Amino acid sequence: MTLDSIITIIKKIIDISLVWLAFYYILKNIRNNVKLTLLFKGVAIILVLKIVSDAFGLTTIGLLLEYVIMWGPLALIIIFQPEIRNVLEQIGKTQLLGRHKVLTVDERERLVYEIVTAVEYLRKARIGALIVLERDISLANYIEKAKKVYADLSSDLLISIFFPNNPLHDGGVIIQGDRISCAGAVFPTSNSSKVSKKFGTRHRAALGITEESDAISVVVSEETGRVSIAVKGELFYNLSIDDVRMMLIDELRPKQEEDYLDELDEEEIYEEDR
């Protein structure tokens, strides 16, 4: 094998690796965005229908699908321009402007303790609140437009921010790592048809930010005092304080730790089967 052939092989490997890396980051960010996930599924269904129509000679549906495939990309770019822009921004910001640091077990426990303590008080006092915890996808765009705080997290500070007549009461708090980055943040509201009409702006905003990122939202209802958590575009309504604590601990666990625990569970199941 000559030197030129070795260099050619290395170039091809690098080329293919870069393409797969690009696809990996695009698909990863699409998975964290509920709207783009639905869009991706819709495109996949159209392509499958086109293949089926060609295979069975369905002329009419095939012709219609050709027009859809021809003009569809342009229409999608126009309609979903904000979502596409957000994905491109998230690709550049992931792990760079995301969490300030990876929290230790003790720091995660303290984080959850302070949030749960504040939520317990707010729930009993019927004070509305929206607390958003940033994970891998940066929320810098929302922080820039909000009131900067950059303070150590404490239950007293959270309570004071959401206390009635406070100017920041109606907005949301964003937590990065174990620090409060801002208050009074405004988030996109969800338009999902699955959301009950009884939910107001605060719950829809809690759900909306989780549709566009991998953040965790904790929301306290001002009218009922009920606590809910939104994650991955799904709202878990009327949770107990213990449920909130366990869910936060589970969702804040690093992926490496989750994989390790999954392996332990599989080993325990295997030992039980033996």
Token pair listed for 172: 């949301």
Quickly count: other Cβ atoms within 10 Å of residue 244's Cβ: 22
How far is Cα 175 from Cα 215, in angstroms, rounded to an integer? 10
Nearest Cα neighbor of 134 from 198, 180, 171 is: 180
Token code pair at residue 214: 């991998």
What is the per-residue pLDDT across 216-265, written as a single tens digit (0 to 9) for each? 999 999 999 999 999 988 999 999 999 999 999 999 987 655 554 455 55
CA–CA distance, 189 with 179 (Å, rounded to integer): 25
Strand-pair partners of 263: none
Q: Tell me the angle at which helices 34-56 and 201-212 cross, rounded to the nearest 10 degrees.
A: 60
Highest mean pLDDT among 23-27, 70-74, 87-91, 159-163: 159-163
pTM of the model: 0.66
Cα 195 → chain centroid: 17
- Reduced to 3 states (helix: H, G, I; strand: E, B; else coil), residue 209 is helix
- CATH number belonging to the domain at 105-256, selected among 3.90.950.10, 3.40.630.30, 3.40.1700.10, 2.60.120.620: 3.40.1700.10
Phi, psi (deg, nearest 5) at residue 75: -65, -40
Task: Dump pLDDT digits (tens) for 112-148.
Answer: 999 999 999 999 999 999 999 999 888 888 998 999 9
| Segments making up each domain of the chain, as ranges | 3-93, 105-256
